[in-house]
């Protein structure tokens, strides 16, 4: 409904900042400035709500591989959204300081973004990451399979985790991965149709030997390194990435991607590492070994290192357990526990 409302009222939400700047009264007329400031708050609030819904919808549709809500509404004539003002302008409550900020800020929409982007704050960066993955999926649908999704240089640091999570999801049969690793469970529901269960395993087997698996693993290892190497721990910060559930779910999926990619390796049968067996150190060793500049370079190290993921599931499981979110993450913790403890019934898939 929100996207449909936006589609029907785009002119209101797309009020150009340039025209606002031209109508700003001088600071000597604070009463008029206050009226314009209040009007701008109304417009910007609605714009930011639409942007936030687009970001959440993109995250949900990619990380759970569901149909996006904006399909057929915003995408009908090409997706374009108003670009939100900076956090400094949005958070400013002094009308005179706000006037100075708004007059110096360049206004543009997503379709007008060029290669030389300004510095982005967290909210703007989240929008850009989701918008670019939207365009990347269009390229995938056009059978341009050789593409790899690189983040723009101006992307806010914390949004890189979101970037890599969205990118790996475009190269992964997520439902097949989740149901296979959890032994026929998908989002808390048991797959009772044996044919569908066998189809999921077959899909994952085919994926493991594909370029898509290499690309997904490249993004997964980068996401995990970002979290692993952060001095303050990305999971404990207030970031633009949507909070604990999103962060931990991304870590879980990334760990499963690495596990599945290395499952068929000759060195994948080694005993899984428990935490007191230095799982964190083993996870770091694996992630450092898999750190290559491009996805095509992963083949040079995968033959040796792909199966050495035994510290990774325990490290991610511990992170999930520390927060204790419940719900889907309870199931995720159980899956990782079975992989770590060797209690999984997945002899082969």
Confidence grade of residue 138 (pLDDT, cut at 50, 70, 90) = low
The model's confidence at residue 133, banded by pLDDT at 50, 70 and 90, is confident
Residue with tokens 């909210």: 123
Q: What is the mean pLDDT of the chain?
A: 76
pLDDT, tens only, 10-40: 555 555 555 565 566 666 567 888 888 888 8
The answer, yes or no, to whether residue 226 has pLDDT greater than 80, is yes
Model confidence over 271-292: pLDDT tens digits?
554 555 678 888 888 999 999 9
- Ranking 84-93, 155-164, 340-349 by mean pLDDT, the lowest is 340-349
Rounded-to-integer distance, Cα 173 and Cα 306, Å: 19
Helix, strand, coil shares of the chain, percent, nearest 5, are 65, 0, 35
pLDDT higher at 26 or 1: 26
Distances (CA, A) of 165 to 159, 269, 279: 10, 27, 23
Confidence band (pLDDT; 50, 70, 90) for 215?
very high
The predicted-structure confidence for 228-268, as pLDDT tens digits, reads as follows: 776 444 444 444 444 445 788 899 999 999 999 988 665 55
Residue 255, both tokens: 């760990």
β-strands 185-186, 189-190 pairing: antiparallel
Q: Is 28 helix (H, G, I), strand (E, B) or coil?
A: coil
What phi, psi does 176 have (nearest 5°)?
Answer: -65, -40
Give the per-residue pLDDT at 254: 95
The arithmetic mean of pLDDT across residues 162-178, rounded, is 90
Give the whole-angstrom CA distance, residue 206 versus residue 10.
44
Confidence of residue 154 (pLDDT cuts 50, 70, 90): low
């Amino acid at each position: 409904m929100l996207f449909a409302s936006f589609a029907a009222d785009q002119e209101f939400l797309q009020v150009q900042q340039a025209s606002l700047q031209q109508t700003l009264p001088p600071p000597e007329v604070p009463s008029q400035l206050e009226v314009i400031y209040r009007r701008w708050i109304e417009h910007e609030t609605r714009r930011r709500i639409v942007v936030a819904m687009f970001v959440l919808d993109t995250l949900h549709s990619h990380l759970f591989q569901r149909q996006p809500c904006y399909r057929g509404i915003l995408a009908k004539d090409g997706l374009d959204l108003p670009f939100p003002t900076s956090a400094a302008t949005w958070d400013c409550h002094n009308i005179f300081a706000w006037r100075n900020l708004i007059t110096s800020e360049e206004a543009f929409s997503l379709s007008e973004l060029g290669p030389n982007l300004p510095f982005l704050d967290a909210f703007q960066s989240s929008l850009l990451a989701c918008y670019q993955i939207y365009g990347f999926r269009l390229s995938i649908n056009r059978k341009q399979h050789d593409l790899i999704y690189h983040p723009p240089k101006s992307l806010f640091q914390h949004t890189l985790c979101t970037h890599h999570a969205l990118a790996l999801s475009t190269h992964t049969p997520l439902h097949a991965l989740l149901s296979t690793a959890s032994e026929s469970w998908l989002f808390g529901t048991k797959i009772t149709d044996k044919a569908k269960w066998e189809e999921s395993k077959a899909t994952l087997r085919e994926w493991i030997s594909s370029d898509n698996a290499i690309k997904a693993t490249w993004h997964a290892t980068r996401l995990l390194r970002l979290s692993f190497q952060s001095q303050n721990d990305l999971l404990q910060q207030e970031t633009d990435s949507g909070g604990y559930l999103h962060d931990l779910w991304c870590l879980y999926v990334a760990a499963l991607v690495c596990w599945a990619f290395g499952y068929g390796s000759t060195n994948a049968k080694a005993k899984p590492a428990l935490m007191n067996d230095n799982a964190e150190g083993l996870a770091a060793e694996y992630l450092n070994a898999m750190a290559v500049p491009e996805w095509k370079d992963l083949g040079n190290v995968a033959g040796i290192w792909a199966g050495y993921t035994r510290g990774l599931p325990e490290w991610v499981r511990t992170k999930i357990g520390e927060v204790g979110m419940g719900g889907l993450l309870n199931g995720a913790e159980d899956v990782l526990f079975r992989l770590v403890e060797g209690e999984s019934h997945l002899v082969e898939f």
